[in-house]
Amino acid sequence: MPTDGIRGRSPNSHSGSGDSGVRAPSPNSWALLGALALLAQIFTLNALPFELVEPWDKVWHVLAYGALTLLLWIATDGRRPMLVVTAVMLLGAGDELRQALWPARSADALDFAAVACATVVTGGALLFFGGKRPSDQAARLAVAKSGLKR
C-alpha cells in the first residue's frame, strides 16, 4: 500500500482527529475566483463586434457590474468598501475607453453611468445591510472568551 511519505501513512488512513490536513477554500477565495471569471467575461464579451440594443445594454451593465461589486465585496470580507467601489468604477471606465478604441464599438457615457449607478447602489446596500452589527461583535467576543473555535 503506498504511503504519503511524510508520516508513513496511507493516503486513505485516518488519524481519528478528523483533521485531514487539507483546508477547504474559503468563501472569500470562491468569490474572488468568481469575480475574476466575471471580469474575463465582461472584457471578452465587450470585444465582440456588435452591441446590444437599447435598453438591454444598460441592463447588462447594471447586472454585470453589480455582481462584480458583490463578489469583490465578499472577497474582501467587506473590509474595504471604498476600494471595491472605486476599483469596479475604474474597471467600467477602462472598459468604455477600450470600446472607444475598438473599431466596431463605441464608448457611451450612459453605459458608464449604468456602471456607476450599479456599483454605488450595490456598495451602498451592502454597507447599509451588511455592516458590522453590535450583535455580531458581542457573539465574537463571547466565543473568544469561552475559548471555542469557530
Q: Which residue has the cell 447602489?
A: 121
Q: How far apart are CA 116 and CA 91, in angstroms?
A: 10
Residue 83 in any domain: the answer is yes
Q: How far apart are CA 37 and CA 40, in angstroms?
A: 5
Which residues does the chain have with pLDDT short of 50? Answer: 4-7, 10, 13, 133-134
Evaluate if pTM is beyond 0.75.
no
Residue 43 in any domain: the answer is no
Query: Domain limits at 109?
Result: 56-127
Which residues touch 48 (CB under 8 Å, ≥6 apart)? none
Residue 76 in any domain: the answer is yes
Question: pLDDT per residue over 69-97, tens digit each?
Answer: 999 999 998 889 999 999 999 999 998 89
Name the domain count of the chain: 1
Residue 144 in any domain: the answer is no
Residue 31 in any domain: the answer is no
Residue 61 in any domain: the answer is yes
pLDDT at residue 130 in the model: 79
At position 61, the amino acid (one-letter code) is H
Residue 9 in any domain: the answer is no
Residue 118 in any domain: the answer is yes
